[in-house]
């Protein structure tokens, strides 16, 4: 039997990500040093872990309300009000299984077949597949290094067509570390309002921003009802394995997202939710401590990359450096493969983040300073051949 005839055409059309293809090759090389994964190297703080343990010991392992524990949803609203001056009520919040489920739900409730969705490349690898599986058509805006990978209003205006339904943004950005300020966002507000765009704003790195305050498009009251905020606990609280994300949006959008969520998920993981209440209400000190450590690592990594001839701008958020390797005359994939084989260092080829990521590599500094130092020693020796 030809099973392909029975499969969903959209799934059949999906290609293997260059990222997973690259990782499969790298996995066969011994003594590798990786600066590739976007996962904090800090242990989940004990006061958060202990809350999950306590929940299990007290048999708090029941199904919760599908939208998530009321106390958690209220704390999420309190957190965004306290930290970012964006105010929501409990009916505006939905707890999901990671931020990825939240993005998937947003796309599935909004996109009809043929609707256009604007994405900004270089982009997180999951955006395009999720959009296309929902029947959407991706319209790409290139974020450029000379603009610090910011979204410009003139580029947004040029990308909008009568079929445009949604704009998906991610600031601070994976993979570039780029951010948007009040001055950057202000010109976009009227464009978003006048064209009745829904904006899905992936704010998973909102807490990891250096030297300034985080700002969301939801801070602009004129378009707040058009913004769907996606965030979670993985990055800021070092809770990747707890698999908890959340959405903040207009109550109608939350209701529609929950209509899908209640059938596909039923409810998020219960002990993780109790741990998340503790994290988001009591975790500011730990978050600040991690961010300060990331900032020191960023400064060390960027200074040394520029010194050895791998030019990169200093990112203002997240924990990635998006490094320009065009001077080597190698594709990003070939550069990373050569680096693995000759220096035994793993970083991510820019092509994994879309065609607009070609000519760059992503280096994560969510690793110890000792690992970063050793990787830099190997990379410096490797780069001699290009001088």
* Structure confidence at residue 127 (pLDDT): 96
Would the pLDDT of 13 be above 70?
Answer: yes
Quick one: average pLDDT of 291-295? 97
Structure letter (DSSP) for residue 161:
-
pLDDT tens-digit series, residues 159-199: 999 999 999 999 999 999 999 999 999 999 999 999 999 99
Task: For residue 296, name the pLDDT band (cuts at 50, 70, 90).
Answer: very high
Q: Tell me phi and psi for residue 250, to 5 degrees.
A: -50, 145
* Structure confidence at residue 178 (pLDDT): 97
Would the pLDDT of 254 be above 80?
Answer: yes
Measured CA to CA in angstroms, residue 11 lies from 98, 134, 238 at distances of: 22, 11, 32
Quick one: average pLDDT of 258-270? 95
Helix (H, G, I), strand (E, B) or coil at 329: coil
Give which of 180, 248, 173 is closest to 214, Cα–Cα: 180
Quick one: average pLDDT of 96-117? 96
Task: For residue 141, name the pLDDT band (cuts at 50, 70, 90).
Answer: very high
User: Do residues 136 and 111 make contact, with C-beta atoms less than 8 angstroms apart?
Assistant: yes
* Structure confidence at residue 209 (pLDDT): 97
Quick one: average pLDDT of 60-76? 97
pLDDT tens-digit series, residues 347-372: 999 999 999 999 999 999 999 999 99
What is the spatial distance between Cα 40 and Cα 58, in angstroms, rounded to a whole number? 29
pLDDT tens-digit series, residues 20-37: 776 777 667 678 888 988
Task: For residue 386, name the pLDDT band (cuts at 50, 70, 90).
Answer: confident
Would the pLDDT of 292 be above 90?
Answer: yes
* Structure confidence at residue 8 (pLDDT): 79
Task: For residue 6, name the pLDDT band (cuts at 50, 70, 90).
Answer: confident
User: What's the count of helices (H) and strands (E) in the chain, helices before strands?
Assistant: 13, 12
Q: Which of 11-20, 29-38, 270-279 has the lowest mean pLDDT?
A: 11-20
**Average pLDDT over the chain, rounded to whole?**
94
What is the spatial distance between Cα 108 and Cα 264, in angstroms, rounded to a whole number? 12
Q: What are the helix (H) ranges across 174-283?
A: 182-194, 251-264, 270-282
* Locus of tokens 């309300």: 65
User: Do residues 117 and 137 make contact, with C-beta atoms less than 8 angstroms apart?
Assistant: yes
**What pTM value is reported for the model?**
0.95
Respond yes or no on whether the N-terminal peptide bond of residue 122 is cis (omega within 30° of 0). yes
* Structure confidence at residue 2 (pLDDT): 76
Respond yes or no on whether the N-terminal peptide bond of residue 26 is cis (omega within 30° of 0). no
Strands (DSSP E) contained in the chain are 33-34, 93-96, 116-121, 137-142, 164-170, 198-202, 227-232, 245-248, 320-324, 345-346, 348-349, 360-364
pLDDT tens-digit series, residues 323-334: 999 999 999 999
* Structure confidence at residue 4 (pLDDT): 72
Structure letter (DSSP) for residue 15:
P
Quick one: average pLDDT of 139-153? 97
pLDDT tens-digit series, residues 192-244: 999 999 999 999 999 999 999 999 999 999 999 999 999 999 999 999 999 99
- Domains recognised in the chain with CATH numbers: 3-44+285-386 (3.90.1150.10), 46-282 (3.40.640.10)
Give which of 43, 75, 103 is closest to 239, Cα–Cα: 43
Would the pLDDT of 18 be above 70?
Answer: no
Q: What are the helix (H) ranges across 60-212?
A: 70-84, 98-110, 127-133, 153-159, 182-194
Task: For residue 11, name the pLDDT band (cuts at 50, 70, 90).
Answer: confident
What is the spatial distance between Cα 95 and Cα 85, in angstroms, rounded to a whole number? 20
| Pairing mode of beta strands 164-170, 116-121 | parallel
């Amino acid at each position: 039997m030809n099973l392909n005839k029975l499969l969903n055409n959209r799934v059949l059309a999906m290609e293997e990500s260059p990222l997973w293809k690259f990782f499969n090759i790298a996995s066969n090389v011994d003594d590798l040093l990786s600066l590739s994964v976007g996962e904090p190297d800090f242990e989940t703080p004990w006061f958060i872990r202990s809350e999950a343990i306590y929940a299990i010991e007290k048999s708090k392992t029941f199904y919760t309300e599908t939208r998530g524990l009321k106390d958690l949803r209220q704390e999420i609203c309190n957190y965004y009000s306290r930290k970012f001056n964006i105010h929501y009520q409990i009916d505006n919040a939905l707890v999901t299984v990671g931020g990825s489920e939240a993005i998937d739900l947003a796309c599935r409730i909004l996109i009809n077949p043929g609707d256009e969705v604007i994405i900004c490349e270089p982009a997180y690898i999951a955006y395009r597949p999720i959009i296309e599986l929902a029947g959407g058509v991706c319209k790409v805006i290139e974020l450029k290094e000379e603009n610090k990978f910011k979204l410009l209003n003139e580029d947004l205006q040029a990308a909008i067509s009568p079929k445009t339904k949604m704009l998906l943004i991610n600031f601070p950005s994976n993979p570039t570390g780029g951010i948007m300020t009040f001055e950057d966002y202000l010109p976009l507000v009227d464009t978003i309002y006048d064209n009745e765009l829904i904006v899905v704003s992936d704010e998973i790195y909102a807490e990891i921003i250096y030297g300034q305050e985080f700002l969301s498009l939801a801070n602009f009251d004129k378009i707040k009802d058009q913004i769907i905020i996606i965030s979670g606990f993985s990055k800021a609280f070092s809770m990747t394995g707890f698999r908890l994300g959340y959405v903040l949006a207009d109550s109608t959008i939350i209701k529609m997202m929950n209509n899908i969520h209640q059938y596909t998920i039923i409810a998020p993981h219960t002990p993780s939710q109790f741990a998340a209440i503790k994290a988001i209400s009591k975790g500011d000190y730990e978050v600040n401590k991690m961010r300060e450590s990331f900032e020191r690592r960023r400064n060390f990594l960027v200074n040394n990359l520029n010194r050895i001839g791998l030019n990169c701008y200093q990112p203002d958020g997240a924990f990635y450096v998006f490094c320009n390797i065009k001077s080597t005359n190698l594709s990003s994939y070939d550069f990373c493969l050569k680096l693995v084989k000759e220096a035994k260092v793993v970083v991510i080829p820019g092509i994994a983040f879309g065609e607009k990521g070609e000519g760059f590599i992503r280096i994560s500094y969510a690793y110890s300073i000792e690992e970063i130092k050793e990787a830099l020693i190997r990379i410096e020796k490797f780069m001699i051949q290009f001088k």
